Amino acid sequence: MPANDIDWPALEDAAKQAMARAYAPYSKFPVGAAALTEDGRIISGCNVENASYGLTLCAECALVGELHMTGGGRLAAFYCVDGQGNILMPCGRCRQLLYEFRAPGMQLMTTQGIKTMDDVLPDAFGPENLEETT
Ligand code: THU
């Protein structure tokens, strides 16, 4: 999707609204993520922690769940914020989650400006690698 077609302020707003719903009593580090799908939906998610700390769900986990619950498709653009509303880089595991559902040329708002999925997860393992074996 051309960069000009992406409403970054709307994504930022959706990410901040999601962050306000976070369940982060242990880390006290709420996170909100939002994405634009290729067909124009804005989806979002927040982190949901657990007393068994390692079971924490990152905001991106909820986001990819909502992607599928609202019709599936591919992610054209992504925005993630911390508790102050500042841009947050997705963790390594979540970059992999996002990679699975990336649209060609997917863009991410990062602390260093807009980057592509390939910029933030180069040489990635993905569904294509599994296709080679079938
Ligand atoms: N977190 C996310 O939700 N997404 C990320 O990409 C980075 C980390 C959450 C997990 C945990 O609840 C809190 O941030 C502190 O690590």
| Residue 3 CA neighbour count, 13 Å, CB half | 7
Q: How confident is the model at residue 127 (pLDDT cuts 50, 70, 90)?
A: very high
Beta bridge partners of 79: 34
| Closest residue by CA, ligand 1 atom 14 | 29
Tens-digit pLDDT profile for residues 89-123? 999 999 999 999 999 999 999 999 999 999 999 99
C-beta of 48 in contact with ligand 1 (< 6 A): no
Q: How confident is the model at residue 2 (pLDDT cuts 50, 70, 90)?
A: confident
C-beta of 62 in contact with ligand 1 (< 6 A): no
Would you say how long the chain is, in residues?
134
Closest-CA residue to 78 (of 54, 57, 56, 59):
59
Helical spans, DSSP H, in 20-106 = 59-69, 92-100
Tens-digit pLDDT profile for residues 52-83? 999 999 999 999 999 999 999 999 999 999 99
Helical spans, DSSP H, in 1-134 = 8-19, 59-69, 92-100, 117-120, 127-131
* Percent of the chain whose pLDDT exceeds 90: 94
Give me the pLDDT at residue 133, please: 65
Q: Where are the domains of the chain?
A: 3-119
Phi/psi of residue 70, each to 5°?
Answer: -110, 15
Handedness of CA 32, 102, 110, 36 (dihedral sign): negative
C-beta of 32 in contact with ligand 1 (< 6 A): no
Global confidence as pTM: 0.96
Pick the CATH number of 3-119 from 3.40.50.300, 3.30.1490.20, 3.40.1280.10, 3.40.140.10: 3.40.140.10
Burial code (b: 16+ CB inside 10 Å, e: under 16) for 30-69 equals: bbbbbbbbeeeebbbbbbbbeeeeeeeebbbbbbbebbee
| Closest residue by CA, ligand 1 atom 2 | 58
C-beta of 125 in contact with ligand 1 (< 6 A): no
Q: How confident is the model at residue 9 (pLDDT cuts 50, 70, 90)?
A: very high
Pocket test for ligand 1, best of 91, 93, 98 (most atoms within 8 A of CB): 91
Give me the pLDDT at residue 134, please: 55
128 pLDDT above the threshold of 70 = yes
